[in-house]
């Protein structure tokens, strides 16, 4: 039995997130189903993280221990032959026996896409949040600078009963405009549940004049989740890559 590392992309529109759940269609569930047939027994696929329902990925990393004589290329081709067309395995390669996609990850990059142009693009509609107004990017960049660094992000987590540490390091936040699109890029050591989407919602509150940059700092320091902005909808979020040593 060997350990294999997978690089996966998927359109999460019709899935109930990454994590396998009873009676729900998930990315992990689809992968395990196909690999189970390939190996002739139940197979667990370990993902680098748990994307929520409706969230996409261009660079999800996973690993699985497989009992098969197939080459990595044959495993990749088998998966792509039998997976639905909104999931693709870009790469399969043999990994060290101790490689763990989640525990060995040292950083992740997420991108959130909004559209604030006058005419909403039809064919990208499943991959952005359509805004009713153009936010002020300069104000959002000021607020983003306050979010950057090591902070307790408990108010940027949807789970109020989080028992583990909510301290995270966000070392890069970029906000770029291209045509009518607005891209938020976040890189950090790890992210809490809905953390990126809440940060986007908060930054947009600043950009639209409903919060000040100073209030973002206060959100980090106060214990009330309601002080942060709304949770941005899932369709604009995409996991771009996962970092390893």
85 is catalytic: no
pLDDT tens, residue by residue, 51-103? 999 999 999 999 999 999 999 999 999 999 999 999 999 999 999 999 999 99
**Confidence at residue 37, expressed as pLDDT on a 0 to 100 scale:** 98
8 Å CB contact between 27 and 10: yes
pLDDT tens, residue by residue, 142-155? 999 999 999 999 99
pLDDT tens, residue by residue, 156-205? 998 867 778 999 999 999 999 999 999 999 999 999 999 999 999 999 99
**Confidence at residue 160, expressed as pLDDT on a 0 to 100 scale:** 65
Q: What DSSP line would sit under the chain, residue for residue?
A: -EEEEEEEEE-GGGSS-SS--TTS--HHHHHHHHHHHHHTS----EESS-PPTT-EEEEEEEEEEE-----HHHHHHHHHHHS-TTEEEEEEEE--TT--TTTT--EEEEEEEEE-SSS--STTGGG-EEPSS---HHHHHHHHHHHSEEEE-GGG-S-TT--S--EEEEEEEEEEEETTEEEEEEEES---TTHHHHHHHHHHHHHTTSS-HHHHHHHHHSS-GGGS-PPPPGGGEEEEEEE--
Q: Is the pTM of this model over 0.75?
A: yes
Give the chain's mean pLDDT.
Answer: 95
Q: 111 CB contacts (<8 Å, ≥6 apart)?
A: 183, 184, 185, 186, 237, 238, 240
Residue 226 in this model has a pLDDT that exceeds 90: no
Which position among 52, 77, 224, 243 bears the catalytic label? 52
């Amino acid at each position: 039995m060997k350990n294999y590392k997978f690089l996966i992309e998927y359109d999460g529109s019709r899935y109930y997130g990454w994590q396998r759940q009873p009676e729900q269609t998930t990315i992990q569930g689809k992968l395990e189903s196909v690999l189970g047939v390939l190996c002739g027994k139940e197979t667990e696929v370990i993902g680098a993280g748990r994307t929520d329902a409706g969230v996409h990925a261009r660079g999800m990393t996973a690993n699985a221990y497989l009992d098969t004589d197939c080459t990595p290329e044959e495993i990749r081709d088998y998966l792509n032959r039998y997976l639905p067309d909104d999931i693709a395995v870009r790469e399969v390669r043999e990994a060290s026996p101790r490689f763990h996609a989640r525990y060995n990850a040292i950083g992740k990059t997420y991108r959130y896409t909004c559209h604030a142009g006058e005419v909403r693009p039809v064919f990208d509609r499943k991959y952005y949040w359509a805004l009713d107004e153009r936010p002020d990017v300069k104000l959002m960049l000021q607020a983003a600078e306050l979010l950057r660094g090591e902070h307790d992000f408990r108010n940027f987590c949807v789970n109020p009963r989080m028992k583990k540490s909510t301290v995270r390091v966000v070392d890069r936040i970029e906000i770029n405009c291209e045509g009518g699109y607005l891209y938020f890029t976040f890189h950090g050591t790890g992210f809490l549940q809905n953390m990126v989407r809440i940060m986007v919602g908060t930054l947009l509150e600043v950009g639209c004049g409903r919060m000040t940059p100073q209030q973002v700092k206060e959100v980090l320091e106060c214990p009330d989740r309601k002080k942060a902005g709304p949770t941005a909808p899932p369709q604009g979020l995409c996991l771009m890559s996962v970092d390893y040593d």
